[in-house]
Amino acid sequence: MTEKNDEMVERAAKHYSDDKFIAKVKQTGLQLGFKALHAATTLFIALKSPNMPNAQKLIIVGALGYLILPIDIVADFLPVIGLADDALVIIKAVMSVYKHVDEDMEQQAHTLLKSWFGDRYNYEGNIQHVIEEQQQ
């Protein structure tokens, strides 16, 4: 079963690339909103973890792949609502894999975002806050 899961992750990853994710985040990340931006970047970090189960990696690749698609349910170039569907997909993915995300992954995401956006990125929250907000 593990070999089949590995194969599924590899096939899904063919439609996703780190370079495309980074380019998308740098281009539109601040428009996505800090919570979703941090969540997406935490997923990006978590995807690289050898401790992340393959089933969760599939969810992450699907969510990040959706984020980098130029055309999706709501076109990204539309003001205000263009990235709303992307943010929703990212938040739902985080809720699905949350138990496998550790504090170090979240801190790595903050560090990475600060290196990309400097002082424009000032979010200090964590994934737990996002989960709690969604459950209310």
pLDDT, block means (10 residues), the chain with 136 residues: 60 75 88 90 96 93 86 58 80 94 95 95 87 79
3-state secondary structure the chain: CHHHHHHHHHHHHCCCCHHHHHHHHHHHHHHHCHHHHHHHHHHHHHHCCCCCCHHHHHHHHHHHHHHHCCCCCCCCCCCCCCCHHHHHHHHHHHHHHHHHCCHHHHHHHHHHHHHHHHHHCCCCCCHHHHHHHHHC
pLDDT, residue 81, reads 64
pLDDT, residue 77, reads 56
pLDDT, residue 16, reads 79
What residue segments make up the domains of the chain, in order of their start? 2-135
pLDDT, residue 134, reads 78
pLDDT, residue 129, reads 80
